[in-house]
Amino acid sequence: MNTSLNTLIFLNFRRLELTLKHLISPMDFTIEETNDLLALAERIKDNPDKYAHVCDGKKIATLFYEPSTRTRLSFETAMINLGGQVIGFSSAQSSSAAKGESVADTIRVISCFADICAMRHPKEGAPTVASQFSDIPVINAGDGGHNHPTQTLTDLLTIKLLKGDLNNLTIGLCGDLKFGRTVHSLINAMVRYSNTRFVLISPNELRIPDYLRKEVLDANNIDYLETDELEKNMPDLDILYMTRVQRERFFNEEDYVRLKDSFILDEKKMQYARDDMFVLHPLPRVNEISVSVDKDPRAVYFKQVQYGVYARMALIMKLLDIKEP
Ligand code: NCD
The one-letter amino acid at 207 = R
71 is catalytic: yes
Three-state SS at 54: coil
Residue with CA at minimum distance from ligand 1 atom 7: 71
Q: How many CB atoms lie within 10 A of CB 144?
A: 18
The pTM of the full predicted model, rounded to 2 decimals, is 0.94
The whole-number pLDDT of residue 163 equals 98
* Ligand 1 atom at minimum distance from 141 CA: 7
Q: What is the pLDDT of residue 18?
A: 54
| Residue nearest atom 6 of ligand 1, based on CA coordinates | 282
Q: What is the model's pLDDT at position 229?
A: 97
pLDDT at 251: 85
131 lines ligand 1 (CB under 6 A): no
The one-digit pLDDT tens for each residue of the chain (325 residues) are 444 545 544 445 444 455 799 999 999 999 999 999 999 999 999 999 999 999 999 999 999 999 999 999 999 999 999 999 999 999 998 888 889 999 999 999 999 999 999 999 999 999 999 999 999 999 999 999 999 999 999 999 999 999 999 999 999 999 999 999 999 999 999 999 999 999 999 999 999 999 999 999 999 999 999 999 999 999 999 999 999 999 999 989 999 999 999 999 999 999 999 999 999 999 999 999 999 999 999 999 999 999 999 999 999 999 999 999 9
Domains and CATH numbers, the chain: 15-147+308-319 (3.40.50.1370), 150-306 (3.40.50.1370)
Bridge partners of 227?
201
Torsion of CA 34, 137, 317, 311, to 10 degrees: -50
**148 annotated active-site:** yes
| C-beta 282 within 6 A of ligand 1 | yes
Per 3-state DSSP, what percentage of the chain is helix, strand, and coil (rounded to 5)? Answer: 50, 15, 35
Beta pairing partners, 223: 197
Which H/E stretch holds residue 173?
A: strand 170-174
From residue 72, how far is each of 65, 97, 201, 218 by CA, in Å?
Answer: 11, 18, 29, 34
Distance from CA of residue 293 to its chain's centroid? 24
